A and B are shown apart, each in its own frame.
Chain A
Amino acid sequence: MPIDRTRALTVILVASELTSLVIFLTVAYGSLNTLAATLQGERPIDIDMDRDPMTGDSRINLGINVQNRGFYRIYVGIHAKLLTNFGQQISEGIDSRYVEPGDEGELTLVLTLSREDALNLSNTRYVIQFDFRTFFDFVSIGIELEGSP
């Protein structure tokens, strides 16, 4: 019995539509669930600053605990920069990792500042870039925060 091409195509069409709908719903649900779980977790964002009493140099430690509550592996990345008001870079930190579904991962970065820069912190600007990718890196969200302390 010959296969009816139009009927076969109709079946493929319906299957493709349903697949894309399922992918969208699982990606949207997983991303929102991951965001909610990360923000509601115990100490989701950890920032502390310590100073070396001998040299006066400072270190800003930033930690983010990401909890993947979605269906697909996620990629999370953070890139932080401290700049002078003229745009010159003072310090930079970067970290990224893949987190499997149901798992959690911690992003940590350290920004080191000289004694002079630490004293002049009110005259600096910061740029923090978050990168979130899911569904085999096909769907992504990038957030950039820019401001001054």
Chain B
Amino acid sequence: MNKIKGLIFPTFIILGLIVMPRVALTMVPVDMVSMIYAMDLVDLDLILNALMIFGIILAILSALKNLTEKWTTTNLASGITSAIIWFILSLFLWGAGDLWSFGEISRTLNVMKNVTASFVLNLRFFVLLQAGVSLLGILNIILTYAKARDRRRAQPEAYSHGAEPSEGLESGLRQS
């Protein structure tokens, strides 16, 4: 359990996913924003609202993960849920607001009278890469949980006083 991490990480998540995108949008020239709205390329309101919802959920999960002991099921569940939600967020962003496109963005525009332009941007490689990283992250969370749980089972009295498991404590107990 780390109270400092439990405060700092959720703050960073809220800053990065809720505050910064809204501040960044105010810095973009108004003409460009109105052009994006007019061309219907990206639904900016949808993306900002989704980022806010994802940000709140991820901040709560991060606080839960960092404020609980590594051997608790709450820590395990919040860690795995957090990794899954980060992956869903990446799917949402790689699809420019469309979760089910799996990184393939396609749009059709009327560029001039009698001229239609359609484009397809294929970013599925990054989605696959992200999926791999998320799976590795979940595996890491499970291994960390299993290791912490085994340590706790080996020395239940050390944890009953609220002490953190450490190599020094273990060797001390072994010697005594």
Chain A residues with a Cβ under 8 A of chain B: 5-6, 9-10, 12-13, 16-17, 20, 23-24, 135, 138-148
Contacts and interface: CB of A to CB of B under 8 A. Distances in A.
Interface stretch (B3-11, B55-63, B133-141, B155-163): B133-141
Interface stretch (B14-22, B23-31, B43-51, B114-122): B114-122
Interface string B103-130: 0000000011011111111110110011
A147 B122 CA distance: 24
B119 A141 contact: yes
Interface of B: 111-112, 114-123, 125-126, 129-130, 132-133, 136-137, 139-140, 143-144, 147
Of residues A12, A17, A20, which shows the largest number of chain B Cβ atoms within 10 Å of its Cβ? A20
Contacts of A139: 122-123, 125-126
Nearest to A127: B116
Contacts of A24: 126
B130 A20 contact: yes
A141 B105 CA distance: 9
Given A6-B140, A12-B136, 12 more contacts: A16-B133, A16-B136, A17-B133, A23-B129, A135-B125, A138-B125, A140-B120, A140-B121, A141-B121, A146-B115, A146-B117, A147-B112
12 contacts: A6-B140, A10-B140, A12-B136, A17-B133, A23-B129, A139-B122, A143-B119, A144-B118, A144-B119, A145-B117, A146-B118, A148-B114
B122 A145 contact: no
B86 to A, nearest CB: 11
